Amino acid sequence: MINLIGTYECKADAKGRVMFPSAFKKQVSPILQEGFVLKKSVFEQCLELYPMKEWNATMAEINKLNKFKKKNNDFIRRFTAGVKVVELDATGRILIPKNLSEFAGIKKQVVMSSSVNIIEIWDKEKYENAIENAAENFSDLAEEVMGNTGGDELS
């Protein structure tokens, strides 16, 4: 599993090409030639860029779902809707297809932010709003999500 680190501001050109940050390029260099999968986020109005190895691991988990349950098929269909395979071009850019760019509301200013093993791609303004909104109750969220992981609690 890859653990990506960093948040970087980029610019999208008129054709939807975005320079891939060199820091991310270094982090994924061993698997860069395998390419990436770009998809809509399930929870946010942003895109998710999966290194191919991470995408294949995610698909292996999804493939375990019982496809004779409608709920599972509905999830799979929605999760994979609009998925695109993308690669870095010769100058180190990725092309964000128009339909995915429209979904995320990406204009010119872009933020690429690590989210453990994937990279989220946001319109800069939407990213800043999401971070600001999440900050309001972050301490409560941190306690709820991570508060019971150690087992060495002092009550």
pLDDT tens-place string over residues 24-65: 999 999 898 999 999 999 999 999 999 999 999 999 999 999
CATH homologous superfamily for the domain 7-146: Transcriptional regulator MraZ domain (3.40.1550.20)
* Phi, psi (deg, nearest 5) at residue 49: -110, 110
Average pLDDT over residues 83-112: 96
Confidence of residue 1 (pLDDT cuts 50, 70, 90): confident
> In this structure, are residues 17 and 126 in contact, taking their beta carbons and an 8 Å threshold?
no
- The predicted pLDDT at position 16 comes to 95
What sign does the dihedral 123-124-128-131 (CA atoms) show? positive
> In this structure, are residues 103 and 40 in contact, taking their beta carbons and an 8 Å threshold?
yes
- The predicted pLDDT at position 155 comes to 44
Predicted confidence (pLDDT) at residue 154 exceeds the cutoff of 80: no
pLDDT in tens, 5-16: 999 999 999 999
Predicted confidence (pLDDT) at residue 89 exceeds the cutoff of 60: yes
Q: Which two tokens stand for residue 135?
A: 């900050």
- What pTM was estimated for this model as a whole? 0.89
